[in-house]
Amino acid sequence: MPATNGLHRVVIIGGGFGGLYAARAMSHPSLRVTLIDRRNFHLFQPLLYQVATGELSPANIAAPLRSLLRRQRQTDVLLAQAVDFDATGKRVILADGEVAYDSLIVAAGLEFNYFGHDEWRPLAPGLKSIEDATTIRARVLTAFEAAERTTDPAVRHRLLTFVVVGGGATGVELAGAFAELARYTLRRDFRSIDPTEARVVLVEARPRLLEAFPDDLSDKTSQTLARLGVTVYPNAMVTDVRADQVTIQRGDAKEVIPTGNVLWTAGVRTTPLAGRLAAATGAATDRLGRIVVGPDLTIAGHPEIFVIGDMAHFEHQGGQPLPGVAPVAMQQGRYAAQVIAARVGGKRPTRPFRYHDRGSMAVIGRSSAVADLGWTHLSGFTAWFAWLFIHLLYLAQFQNRLLVLVQWAWNYVTWNRSARLITEPPGSKTRSSSQQPAGGDDGSSTDTR
Amino acid sequence: MPATNGLHRVVIIGGGFGGLYAARAMSHPSLRVTLIDRRNFHLFQPLLYQVATGELSPANIAAPLRSLLRRQRQTDVLLAQAVDFDATGKRVILADGEVAYDSLIVAAGLEFNYFGHDEWRPLAPGLKSIEDATTIRARVLTAFEAAERTTDPAVRHRLLTFVVVGGGATGVELAGAFAELARYTLRRDFRSIDPTEARVVLVEARPRLLEAFPDDLSDKTSQTLARLGVTVYPNAMVTDVRADQVTIQRGDAKEVIPTGNVLWTAGVRTTPLAGRLAAATGAATDRLGRIVVGPDLTIAGHPEIFVIGDMAHFEHQGGQPLPGVAPVAMQQGRYAAQVIAARVGGKRPTRPFRYHDRGSMAVIGRSSAVADLGWTHLSGFTAWFAWLFIHLLYLAQFQNRLLVLVQWAWNYVTWNRSARLITEPPGSKTRSSSQQPAGGDDGSSTDTR
């Protein structure tokens, strides 16, 4: 393989689970690694919903990439945006420059799919970034504040209605967390409203929640959510989203739900970068735009280009692509690093990638979760405790782990959530002195924030 | 005094130290209290510089006002913006409504004074709000990232130059913290730059730093800052601020310092609300726009209107107004509550307000601070330890206290700062996919973020 100054240049795009674990596994001394990300931190996405619901602070679930890779002296971190590829010249085109590679690992993730209704995006934010989470947190808390001030019962009802679209793990976790926020955490904080009036609706297009889980765990999930007061609508499609209402189609019936709080977790598709990669390499893509990769995670005809994580379509047993979850990305990252090290070391080809599925879990609320470990199904407190333990283990930095544990323990004992801050966009200093607080009788004003 | 339904209506404007401590001291059963703030949280401002330098998370130093006042059932929190007063009709005019009062406590604080150069505000942000702190944090960290990418030594030098304007406690704390961030925390994180190249300049108009402190402590402060590599310019005025440079006048000499990172802590003035209050009541104001109050903290001719905290001009011994520090605001808040309770209870007038000065302190860096306790002066580790202890004691919520302690202990042991996140404005989702990372050779692009 080509090399420069005796060094083999590896470029990794994306500092999520796939990219980070690939970078961490790059230990061969002949490798020179550059990790490119638009953000300066790795985000522990599975806990992002806890930032949106005020349980954790952003810094609890994010760690600077430079810190995480500090000990790997042969690794550079570059805060930059990749926009295109020159597969022939082996260069990644950045928004403001370019980087040459000998091996390339693309791990740029997915974004939410609004199914052709991108105009819904500002009205029904998804949950992918820290900013999404703090936006949702501010919007939901502002709705409670506005409800406290209104005297119109219909307006109050609308302000206190929360619709979560998508019954996968993120949707279930958000719906459960919002129901608990309203019923327990905010219970004694308000004088004019009863936070238990809040209504949380979870809309899922398919017949059951958590489709990736076994039937019995889906049922347990529905029961637990019902006990928390969440209204679950299976077999339901969102057909319209506006600033003050959402329209749901259930069979032949249409229901208009007045609400200014719609959260989107319904579907994903690749970012435009995947399209650029497919165009540059001739790679095949699936219907979500994911890049189809071979047994060694490389693109056909380009053994030097790996695609891993959510962005990759890797066919598992029975032709099913692997799900877009953190363990898949982590294992693929480590595998790609091993393949590159083996090649550079002149070793024989490694065996094809195989995913070791250790199970999946989703948390529903305080002391309640479901877990499918393959050999057994857990639910309730046992599953929740296992979830807690595993997430603490995986949290990237020891400090975060300790802080999150203290925060969780405190929240558990007190039913409190301390990170309930309504913050404004940074840099909007001039606005802040003239800005009107959202409130009065028109909750729809919160939708533009 | 007038009352409604037998209840005496107290309105408090501002949830800072003055307003919060007033609200907490309102225990008389005949009082009905409304606390108005534009934000939903109380901010522990003395630690705000630690958010700006990535040591603490916003939620560590902010607590929801509703939670803090949860147990006071006769107290309402209103998320709203006060814009004017009707002193005759005893009403506060909100941006979207009005509130009637029998007694009014105004505690709306101060803002930074750019001495007629408000165009400098976006270029040289101050440090008053959570958003200010995260903006400064993002700007400084982005400058390091851009310096890592540039190949031009002059550009790198400019990117790594930080100018702090104002040598009061906040300026000293910021300068010390930035010097430590560059010299220790980021030391091993970068490959192309040496973070110790970073230059921190502290500009003070008067002959010495920490003017409110005794001479010996000012000297200690200058020495400690010099040891951290901070360049201190006493007797220096800022005469111009641009996106890529700042001009300093020292005596007859002018110096142009190329930098994109100017932080403003230089002077304060009241917010426009103070002017409205003076116009509505005929109250006298001082040259900073503060409202002159009598011995019982009320406005002449309006015994029902109290002004406390930074917004009040209260003459202490020798005609000097009290300084704008948290202990003054806290004691004034408690005093105002006592006066109102005494009046409602039909008791004889309370004695005039007297400030109990327990001393002042400023932290300079890791293990170093200065403290003037009146009966003794402390510096170095002893002062720093006292500072640590007192700030933990004062932190409003037990949970925050514990989390901050864990975070500080970790930072102390590891020299790390974990909250080093460059975050974008919430709600700028559409922008985030097209936004270019700040970088390349033009660091001035970071100035508009």
Can you read off the two tokens belonging to residue B412?
Answer: 């102390």
Mutate to test the interface with A, among B135, B137, B421 (most CBs of A within 10 A): B421
CB contact under 8 A, A149 and B80: yes
Q: Give me the mean pLDDT over the B121-148 stretch.
A: 91
User: Residue A254: is its pLDDT beyond 70?
Assistant: yes
Measured in degrees and rounded to the nearest 5, phi and psi for residue A183 equal -80, -30
User: Nearest CA to CA, how far is A140 from chain B (Å)?
Assistant: 12
User: Residue B326: is its pLDDT beyond 70?
Assistant: yes
User: Nearest CA to CA, how far is A53 from chain B (Å)?
Assistant: 13
Vertex A202 angle, CA A120 and A242, to 5°: 25
User: Residue B436: is its pLDDT beyond 60?
Assistant: no
CB contact under 8 A, A433 and B76: no
pLDDT band at B85 (very low <50, low <70, confident <90, very high): very high
- A12 φ/ψ sector (left φ>0, alpha ψ -120 to 50, else beta): beta
Task: State the pLDDT at residue B231.
Answer: 96
Q: What is the 3-state secondary structure (H, E, C) of chain B?
A: CCCECCEEEEEEECCCHHHHHHHHCCCCCCEEEEEEECCCEEECHHHHHHHHCCCCCHHHHEEEHHHHCCCCCCEEEEECCEEEEECCCCEEEECCEEEECCEEEECCCEEECCCCCHHHCCCCCCCCCHHHHHHHHHHHHHHHHHHHHCCCHHHHHHHCEEEEECCCHHHHHHHHHHHHHHHHHCCCCCCCCCHHHCEEEEECCCCCCCCCCCHHHHHHHHHHHHHCCEEEECCEEEEEECCCEEEEEECCEEEEEECCEEEECCCEEECHHHHHHHHHHCCCECCCCCEECCCCCEECCEEEEEECHHHEECECHHHCECCCCHHHHHHHHHHHHHHHHHHHCCCCCCCCCCCCCCCEEEEEECCEEEEECCCCEEEHHHHHHHHHHHHHHHCCCHHHHHHHHHHHHHHHHHCCCCCCCCCCCCCCHHHHHHCCCCCCCCHHHHHHC
User: Residue A87: is its pLDDT beyond 80?
Assistant: yes
User: Nearest CA to CA, how far is B79 from chain A (Å)?
Assistant: 7
Task: State the pLDDT at residue A434.
Answer: 30
CB contact under 8 A, A191 and B425: no
pLDDT in tens, A343-373: 998 887 779 999 998 888 888 887 889 999 8
B159 interaction partners in chain A (CB closer than 8 Å)? none
B406 interaction partners in chain A (CB closer than 8 Å)? 402-403, 406
Strand, coil or helix: A382: helix
Task: Say which residue, A399 or A200, is predicted with more confidence.
Answer: A200
Task: State the pLDDT at residue B258.
Answer: 96
pLDDT in tens, B55-74: 888 888 888 899 888 888 89
User: Residue B407: is its pLDDT beyond 70?
Assistant: no
Task: State the pLDDT at residue B5.
Answer: 67
Nearest beta carbon to residue A63 from set B188, B191, B418: B418
Nearest beta carbon to residue B135 from set A149, A426, A436: A426
Spatial neighbors of A271 by CB under 8 A, at least 6 apart, are A108, A109, A110, A111, A311, B433
Can you read off the two tokens belonging to residue A258?
Answer: 């007045």
CB contact under 8 A, B131 and A429: yes
CB A89, CB A305: distance < 8 Å: no
Question: How is chain A split among helix, strand and coil, in percent rounded to 5?
Answer: 35, 25, 40
Q: Give the Cβ contact number of residue B267 at 10 Å.
A: 16
Mean pLDDT of chain B, nearest integer: 86
CB contact under 8 A, B427 and A426: no
User: Dihedral of the CA atoms B149, B153, B154, B157 (nearest 10)?
Assistant: 70
User: Nearest CA to CA, how far is A425 from chain B (Å)?
Assistant: 4
CB contact under 8 A, B59 and A122: no
CB contact under 8 A, B111 and A440: no
Strand, coil or helix: A423: coil
User: Nearest CA to CA, how far is A254 from chain B (Å)?
Assistant: 30
Of A55, A98, A111, A173, which one is the catalytic site residue? A173
Can you read off the two tokens belonging to residue A305?
Answer: 């280009």
Task: Compute the distance between CA of residue A425 and CA of residue B127 in angstroms, rounded to an integer.
Answer: 15
Strand, coil or helix: A303: strand
CB contact under 8 A, A423 and B130: yes
User: Residue A9: is its pLDDT beyond 90?
Assistant: yes
Task: Compute the distance between CA of residue B408 and CA of residue A172 in angstroms, rounded to an integer.
Answer: 35
Q: Give me the mean pLDDT over the B4-12 stretch.
A: 86
A131 interaction partners in chain B (CB closer than 8 Å)? 423-429, 432
User: Residue A399: is its pLDDT beyond 80?
Assistant: no
Share of chain B above pLDDT 90, in %: 56
pLDDT in tens, A419-440: 777 775 443 333 333 333 333 3
Q: Give me the mean pLDDT over the A14-39 stretch.
A: 94
Mutate to test the interface with A, among B37, B55, B61, B66 (most CBs of A within 10 A): B66
CB contact under 8 A, B40 and A79: no
Task: State the pLDDT at residue B346.
Answer: 86
pLDDT band at B409 (very low <50, low <70, confident <90, very high): low
Vertex B375 angle, CA B372 and B380, to 5°: 40
Q: Give the Cβ contact number of residue B358 at 10 Å.
A: 10
CB A210, CB A167: distance < 8 Å: yes
pLDDT band at B194 (very low <50, low <70, confident <90, very high): confident
Nearest beta carbon to residue B406 from set A132, A406, A418: A406
CB B240, CB B203: distance < 8 Å: no
Task: Compute the distance between CA of residue A384 and CA of residue A377 in angstroms, rounded to an integer.
Answer: 12
Count interface pairs A-B at CB distance under 8 A: 217
Share of chain B above pLDDT 70, in %: 88
**Identity of the highest mean pLDDT range in A192-196, A293-297, B46-50, B314-318:** A293-297
Q: Give me the mean pLDDT over the A212-232 stretch.
A: 94
Report the chain A residue with the minimal C-alpha distance to residue B427: A135
User: Residue A2: is its pLDDT beyond 50?
Assistant: no
CA neighbor of A364 nearest in space, from A149, A164, A135 = A164
Task: Say which residue, B105 or A270, is predicted with more confidence.
Answer: B105
CA neighbor of B108 nearest in space, from B300, B306, B301, B282 = B306
User: Residue A25: is its pLDDT beyond 60?
Assistant: yes
User: Residue B95: is its pLDDT beyond 90?
Assistant: yes
B113 interaction partners in chain A (CB closer than 8 Å)? none
Measured in degrees and rounded to the nearest 5, phi and psi for residue A278 equal -65, -40
Task: Compute the distance between CA of residue A4 and CA of residue B224 in angstroms, rounded to an integer.
Answer: 47
Task: State the pLDDT at residue A402.
Answer: 63
CB contact under 8 A, A131 and B189: no
pLDDT band at A409 (very low <50, low <70, confident <90, very high): low
Distance of CA B36 to the CA centre of its chain: 19
| Four-residue CA torsion sign, A382, A384, A388, A394 | positive
Task: Compute the distance between CA of residue B294 and CA of residue B350 in angstroms, rounded to an integer.
Answer: 13
Helix axes B169-180, B215-227, angle to 10 degrees: 20
CB contact under 8 A, B81 and A437: yes
- The model's pTM: 0.84
pLDDT in tens, A135-162: 999 999 999 999 998 989 999 999 999 9
Q: How far is residue A194 from each of residues A160, A184, A438, B92, B213, measured CA to CA in Å?
A: 10, 11, 19, 27, 50
User: Nearest CA to CA, how far is B190 from chain A (Å)?
Assistant: 7
Work out the widest C-alpha separation in chain A, in whole angstroms: 75
Task: State the pLDDT at residue B417.
Answer: 63
Report the chain B residue with the minimal C-alpha distance to residue A118: B430
B405 interaction partners in chain A (CB closer than 8 Å)? none
B412 interaction partners in chain A (CB closer than 8 Å)? none
pLDDT in tens, A162-204: 999 999 999 999 999 999 888 887 877 888 888 778 899 999 9
User: Nearest CA to CA, how far is B351 from chain A (Å)?
Assistant: 35
Among all residues of B, which ones are annotated catalytic? 173
pLDDT in tens, A299-340: 999 999 999 999 999 998 777 899 888 999 999 999 999 999
User: Residue B434: is its pLDDT beyond 50?
Assistant: no
Q: Give me the mean pLDDT over the B256-277 stretch.
A: 92
CA neighbor of A309 nearest in space, from A295, A296, A294, A322 = A322
Mutate to test the interface with A, among B418, B432, B445 (most CBs of A within 10 A): B418
Measured in degrees and rounded to the nearest 5, phi and psi for residue A297 equal 70, 15
CB contact under 8 A, B131 and A191: no
Task: State the pLDDT at residue B375.
Answer: 87
